[in-house]
Chain A
Amino acid sequence: AQSVTQPDIHITVSEGASLELRCNYSYGATPYLFWYVQSPGQGLQLLLKYFSGDTLVQGIKGFEAEFKRSQSSFNLRKPSVHWSDAAEYFCAVGDYNNNDMRFGAGTRLTVKP
């Protein structure tokens, strides 16, 4: 069965610093990978997705992620964090019809001024 691990429960970075959130997945076939962001008390907003092709994908709000099959990873990055990026971030893996999407436990990002 597919699964996702986000090793970091909570990360604190200074505003303007770079960010990398880790995601490792377990899936037998080619995975469909997603990163979502959630502000407190809100739903999830899709940041970016990987289905196939170029392993470096660009998303909204200046985020990018790189798919590394050899490491079963799909880490999220941002070169310069803004205070408004403080939120919870979820990595997810799905199958071809995405009816069995599995989420990681989430990483909470705090941004220091």
Chain B
Amino acid sequence: DGGITQSPKYLFRKEGQNVTLSCEQNLNHDAMYWYRQDPGQGLRLIYYSQIVNDFQKGDIAEGYSVSREKKESFPLTVTSAQKNPTAFYLCASRVSAKNIQYFGAGTRLSVL
């Protein structure tokens, strides 16, 4: 089945801890995105990557880091510098020829 897989579905972070959210796609899409969703605020872009080994900051990149070592994978690390990490995180991907983003099922991150 082709699609975008985010794991885990639920994640808990302790104070001072870094955590990594996984996003894998088998759609052969070129671009990948990470969004943060908070109640009543819609989605805000954290980072995006158009090609392997290259990525750009979005509106709220502070306290987050990403890597794009493989076309299929775009993991997001929530660092201890992110003081308010509790949110729903969504990964998306897009094929270059089409102007449409497709989304994974999301990861809900909470702070212990």
Interface residues of A (CB under 8 A from B): 4, 9, 32, 34, 36, 41-46, 49, 51, 90, 94, 96-101, 103-106
Q: Tell me, rounded to whole Å, the shortest Cβ–Cβ distance linking A60 to chain B.
A: 13
Chain B residue at smallest Cβ distance from A90: B42
Contact of B100 with A42 in the complex, beta carbons under 8 Å: no
Q: Distance in Å from the Cβ of A112 to the closest Cβ of chain B?
A: 23
Nearest-CB distance from A34 to chain B (Å)?
8
Smallest CB separation, B101 vs chain A (Å): 6
Contact A103 to B42, CB < 8 A, known contacts A98-B94, A98-B99: yes
Question: Chain B residues with Cβ under 8 A from A104's Cβ?
Answer: 42
Q: Are A49 and B100 in contact (CB under 8 A)?
A: yes
The closest CB in chain A to the CB of B44 belongs to: A103
User: A4, A42, A98: which contacts B105 (Cβ < 8 A)?
Assistant: A42
Closest A residue by C-beta to B91: A43
Q: Name the CB-closest residue of B to A34.
A: B100
The dominant DSSP class at the A interface is loop
Give residues in B with beta carbon < 8 Å to A: 4, 6, 31, 33, 40-45, 48, 50, 56, 88, 90, 92, 94, 99-106, 108
Q: A78 → chain B, closest Cβ, in Å?
A: 21
In the complex, are the beta carbons of B41 and A42 less than 8 A apart? no
What's the least CB distance linking B106 to chain A, in Å? 5
Contact of A44 among B45, B50, B99, B103 (CB under 8 A): B103
A99 touches B102 (CB 8 A): no
Closest to A94 in B: B99
**Interchain CA distance A90-B6 in the complex, whole Å:** 21
Cross-chain contact B106 with A99 (CB below 8 angstroms): no
Top 10 A-B pairs, shortest CB-CB distance: A43-B103, A103-B42, A44-B103, A103-B43, A105-B42, A43-B105, A98-B99, A43-B104, A43-B106, A32-B99
Whether the pair B42, A101 counts as a contact (CB closer than 8 A) is: no
Return chain A residues, CB-CB under 8 Å to B94: 98
A-chain residues with CB within 8 Å of residue B44 when the two chains form the complex: 103
Once bound together, how far apart are the Cα atoms of A95 and B105, in whole Å?
A: 24
